[in-house]
Structure 1
Amino acid sequence: MNFDPFNELGGGSALRYDDGQQDDYCLPVASHSPETERLDYIHDVYKYHAGNVPEEVANLLNDGTTRRILDVGCGTGKWALEMIADFPDIHITGVDLAHPPITVFPSNFSFEIHDVTKGQEYEDDTFDVVHVRDIHAGMPDYHAMLTECVRVLRPGGYLLIKEIEWVPKLLDGGDAEQRFPAICAILESFRDALSERSLDPLVGVNVESYIDSVEGVTDIQYSRHMVPMTPWSDDPVLKYTGQMTRLAMAILGGTIRVMLLDHGESDPDGRYAAGIEELKDISGQPIWYFGSVVARKEGELDVTEEEEEEAEEGAVEDEEASHEGWRRDEDT
């Protein structure tokens, strides 16, 4: 596949092309600034509200063997780089439609250009963890994508999903459309534009139903996370993620501009600017949600001979290091 990830159309929004045809993901590539900044802001929101991985996955990744992770739609690569810093024994394969903005890859992070709407290019039972985050804007068959993710998981491996809800709300349960009419209207147009492309704009809302319909998974844990759209909270974490959201929202207008023009919006810039003006007022306490899923593939995560050897080598190295330290203590 030959991609031109920097093909510029309308106002500097880079759309992605596959053999001359625009692919289903009609937002800018992650390596195209300021989209890089927007995605990294939202990454911090997810991390502060739900963590990069849950505790049970962290325990698996700390067991002394080289665990393989597939990062589906790896975007800027920030999640993968943070994971490698926290769990140096893992190996991550990141896949996306265009190269992430990384100049030097760690030895245990490989990247492949791949259109996952056409299935996964890996054998059954390959990965210990599959990570999926915010790829619904290019996924005409989200259920099929999840089914493929489960196929390439090893029995007992973990599937991690996070998807945004594009529906602003108010903390007090009031009418968000009345309080923030411009931002609600432009996001409604965005949802309609996604629907026109046979994409589900409410994957984040329906992610629990999606995972429930996938065969071969068990121990499903679903959670829904509330995030401020502006830094109105006195809680340090909520204040920070509210600030990150507002920064991301300021960029989103350019991100979805071409899509809205194609949808028939005559002045998407003006309408979006009005919405951003609304978000300068932190008194309204607007919020948004994202859905998070942790699930396991049915079966037990058996230890392979290679993993047993790795664990034994690691134990020997730890014992030698400990014994060497004891001798040095004795000498002093």
Structure 2
Amino acid sequence: MNFDPFNELGGGSALRFDEGQFFSSIQDDYCLPVASHSPETERLDYIHDVYKYHAGNIPDEVAILLSDGRPRRILDVGCGTGRWALEMIEAFPNIHITGVDLAHPPITVFPPNFSFEIHDVTKGQEYEDDVFDVVHVRDIHAGMPDYHAMLTECVRVLRPGGYLLVKEIEWVPAVLDGSDAQERFPAICAILGSFRNALSERFLDPLVGVNLESYVDNVSGLCDVHYSRHMVPMTPWSDDPILNYTGQMTRLAMAILGGTMRIMLLDHGESDPDGRYAAGIEELRDLLGQPIWYFGSVVARKEGELSDPEPDAELEGYSQEMDEGKDETGWIRDED
């Protein structure tokens, strides 16, 4: 499939191009780089590893469900680079994942059980009720003016007994010892504060990650809701192997984040976002400061009992059609 990155957004919106990066237009709620273009691809994959090492791709109860050998449907809302979906399909070959996002992921070869659709989920989900066994949502608050409505739609398309999985970042730096982060790291706190204000100007909630538990609690039709909050080093200051690794991944992601936020900060009125961000990054060279950040994670079930999936002629036909187009890898090359 050949695609024009200037025509990838739902509703025919254009993307803006700035110093080698594609961005959504000022009229759109989402004004960050498209996941299919480097270095944003790298930043999202670094953060993917952080989430995976701290919270896992899925919780144990979902892994048990997906290991029963039955065909299971998963919706990946805001699939980004597609990294989560690809790892899930490798681990559970019986599943089929539908990924949706504003722009094509940086994938040229698709497994036969991974389909992608360009769709603006702020306009609701384009699926019937009770379709998916699992709905996965991660870090889409930066383009979601009504986060509650988005979650409500995710629950609608879940089958009774199915699982809703949500992760969202908190844009509020902290210090491990509990001291005042703004005193210890004033520059990085200030620039991230400007980013939160820029999100608010677009009628977006920059504190979805902080208030994630409350958001999910206010969605009807869910039960067995479990919330967890995960601490992550911003730099590799820890001697713990996992924390050191996720600190390295965060530092790599932070090096890219300035470019990610650049257009939104310029629209916010920042005259020198690059210089201000560089000052913040310089603060983080001090590993003794032990800066940290958090993300929230929710696992919940839709009320009702999850029945065995019915045979799906459409899915079987899709798989058979894809088999005919496989290359030597056994996957599907995405091209005309």
Cα RMSD of the aligned pairs, angstroms, is 1.6
Q: Which residue of 2 aligns with 1:271?
A: 276
Alpha-carbon shift at residue 42 of structure 1 (Å): 0.1
1:145 matched residue in structure 2: 150
For 2:304, which of 296, 299, 304 is the aligned residue?
299
1:218 aligned to 208, 223, 226, which one? 223
Map Cα deviations across residues 72-125 of structure 1 (whole Å, 9 max, x no partner).
000000000000011111000000000000001100000000000000000000
Question: Residues 170 and 296 of structure 2 are in contact (CA less than 8 Å); yes or no, is this contact kept in structure 1?
Answer: yes
Structure 1 distance, partners of 2:104, 2:309, is: 32
TM-score normalised to structure 1 length: 0.89
Q: Is the 8 A contact 1:186 1:271 kept in 2?
A: yes
Greater Rg over alpha carbons, structure: 1
Question: After the TM superposition, which residues 4-15 of structure 1 pair with which residues of structure 2 at under 5 Å, given as runs?
Answer: 7-15=15-23
Q: In structure 1, how many angstroms separate the alpha carbons of the residues matched to 2:309 and 2:85?
A: 24
Q: 1:134-168, CA deviations, whole angstroms, 9 ceiling, x for partnerless residues?
A: 00000000000000000000000000000000000
Report the alpha carbon displacement of residue 305 of structure 1 after superposing the two structures with TM.
4.2
- Structure 2 CA distance for partners of 1:288 and 1:190, relative to 1, 3 Å: same
Asked if the contact 1:61/1:67 (under 8 Å) is kept, the reply is yes
Paired amino acid for 1:202: L
- Aligned counterparts of 2:243 and 2:181: Cα–Cα separation in 1: 19
Query: Residues of 2 paired with 1:13 and 1:205: CA distance?
Result: 29
CA contact (8 A) 2:16 2:24 kept: no
1:60 aligns with 2:68: no
Q: Which amino acid aligns with 1:156?
A: G
Q: CA deviation at 1:303?
A: 1.5
8 Å contact from structure 1 (residues 155, 301) kept in 2: yes
CA contact (8 A) 2:66 2:95 kept: yes
The answer to whether the 8 Å contact 1:6/1:14 transfers is no
Give the letter aligned to residue 252 of structure 2.
L
The equivalent residue for 1:124 is: 129
The 1:251/1:304 distance shift into structure 2, 3 A limit, reads: closer
| Equivalent position amino acid for 1:153 in 2 | L
Show the 5 A alignment for 1:75-224: 75-224=80-229
SS at match of 1:159: strand
Q: Distance in 1 between matches of 2:227 and 2:265?
A: 32
The partner residue of 1:16 within 9, 17, 24 is 24
Question: In 1, are the aligned partners of 2:7 and 2:14 still within 8 Å (CA)?
Answer: no
User: 2:309, 2:272 → 1: CA distance?
Assistant: 58
Q: Unpaired segments of 5 or more residues in structure 1?
A: 308-332
SS in 1 for 2:31: coil
Report if the CA contact (8 A) 2:7-2:15 is conserved: no
- TM-score normalised by the chain length of structure 2: 0.88
Structure 2 counterpart SS, 1:256: helix
User: For residues 305 and 203 of structure 1, do their structure 2 counterparts lie closer, same or farther at Cα, with a shift above 3 Å needed?
Assistant: closer
Residues in 2 aligned to 1:31 and 1:99: alpha-carbon distance in whole angstroms:
6
Q: How many residues align?
A: 305
Q: Contact 1:6–1:32 at 8 Å: present in 2 too?
A: no
Q: CA deviation at 1:304?
A: 3.9
Matched AA of 2:262: R
* Structure 2 counterpart of 1:40: 45
- Could you tell me which amino acid in structure 2 is paired with residue 198 of structure 1? F
Q: Answer whether contact 2:35 2:106 (CA < 8 A) is retained.
A: yes
Unaligned runs of 5+ in 2: 1-5, 313-336
Call closer, same or farther: CA 1:305–1:28 in 2, change over 3 Å.
closer
Q: Secondary structure at the match of 1:204?
A: coil
Alignment of 1:247-266 (within 5 A): 247-266=252-271
CA distance in 2, matches of 1:97, 1:305: 31
Relative to structure 1, the CA distance from residue 27 to residue 305 in structure 2 (aligned partners, 3 Å threshold; closer, same or farther) is: closer
The Cα of 1:6 is off from its aligned counterpart by 8.5
- Paired with 1:153 and 1:10, the residues of 2 have a C-alpha distance of 38
Q: Does 1:229 align with 2:234?
A: yes
Which is richer in helix?
1
2:188 partner SS: helix
**1 CA distance for matches of 2:308 and 2:96?**
17
